[in-house]
Structure 1
Amino acid sequence: MTDLSSASQDKPEILVVAGVIEKEGKYLLAQRFEHASQGGLWEFPGGKVEAGETPEQALERELQEELAIETETGDWLADSVFDYGDKVIRLRGFVSHWRSGELALHSHQDAVWVEDSQMTTYQLCPADYPIVDALGVKNQTKD
């Protein structure tokens, strides 16, 4: 992971939000389309924060657009900054609560429900690993 102090100043920095959606003790991972940036990798779904939006508003909008579900954003889990070469992604991960809707994949090729201990068996986008770590810590402190 590259920290911002060493990231090139001429690269765009993009604020992105990710929802760690829990349902019955499992968490949703979504697989990016093969032709997309980071194609074939798994991620917590979400997307870019648009001008005038809070991260929480952006996450709820993105999950509606990508998965056709209504959610409520909960606690912040972790931030991750990753230099992908052509851009720097600042990812903010939040716990997200599913409220309604039937899962439909509009921006992903697949989705799975996994226990937190199984997440690292999937090849995740690099920026998502700190969120997985934070989720593991959070779940350990609950026990």
Structure 2
Amino acid sequence: MTAKQDKAKLDKPKSVILVVAGVIVKQGRYLLTQRFEHASQGGLWEFPGGKVEAGETDEQALERELQEELAIETTTGQFLADSVFDYGDKVIHLKGYLSHWVSGELVLHSHQDARWVGRDEINGYTLCPADYPIVDALKRLPNN
């Protein structure tokens, strides 16, 4: 690549990808999932979710993604927080929602591990950077 091509690449604005995440609560514990090692942010923990597709509401996207990734049915509750984070190769606008487990047995289609943790245990995991504002919002909620 020439210096001119390098500069053009740097000057090009990155597209922002809208992603939703579910802070899934079940019996007072929250689900954290671990990204595959070979994926972007590999090995880090996150609140599961995915991209919002054209024509979907955040709630529709979140419930679809959790069904596809984890084989569970949830209902989307209260908005918690959002963050915009530049991961270098892409910019993510992450919106976190409290999600309530309805049914299903957890199957990991898109993650290498999953853990149900108490709110006070979340800090023991290294999360994707965009997830930390959601953790902060969760900690401000009254116990649920």
Using the size of structure 1 for normalisation, the TM-score is 0.90
Find the counterpart in structure 2 of residue 4 from structure 1. none
Find the counterpart in structure 2 of residue 20 from structure 1. 23
1:108 aligned onto 2:131: no
1:57 aligned onto 2:39: no
Find the counterpart in structure 2 of residue 5 from structure 1. none
Find the counterpart in structure 2 of residue 74 from structure 1. 77
Identify unmatched segments of 5+ residues in structure 1: 1-7
Match 1:119 to one of 119, 122, 127: 122
The CA distance in 2 between the partners of 1:61 and 1:51, in whole Å, is 13
1:24 is matched by which residue type in structure 2? Q
1:105 is matched by which residue type in structure 2? L
The CA distance in 2 between the partners of 1:9 and 1:70, in whole Å, is 39
The CA distance in 2 between the partners of 1:121 and 1:99, in whole Å, is 27
1:97 is matched by which residue type in structure 2? H
Find the counterpart in structure 2 of residue 29 from structure 1. 32
Cα distance change of structure 1 residues 9 and 117 upon mapping to structure 2, 3 Å threshold: farther
Find the counterpart in structure 2 of residue 38 from structure 1. 41
Using the size of structure 2 for normalisation, the TM-score is 0.90
Q: How many residues align?
A: 134
Identify unmatched segments of 5+ residues in structure 2: 1-10
* 2:141 match: secondary structure: helix
1:98: how far off?
0.8
Identical-residue share of aligned pairs (%): 75
* 1:61 match: secondary structure: helix
2:118 is matched by which residue type in structure 1? E
1:9: how far off?
6.1
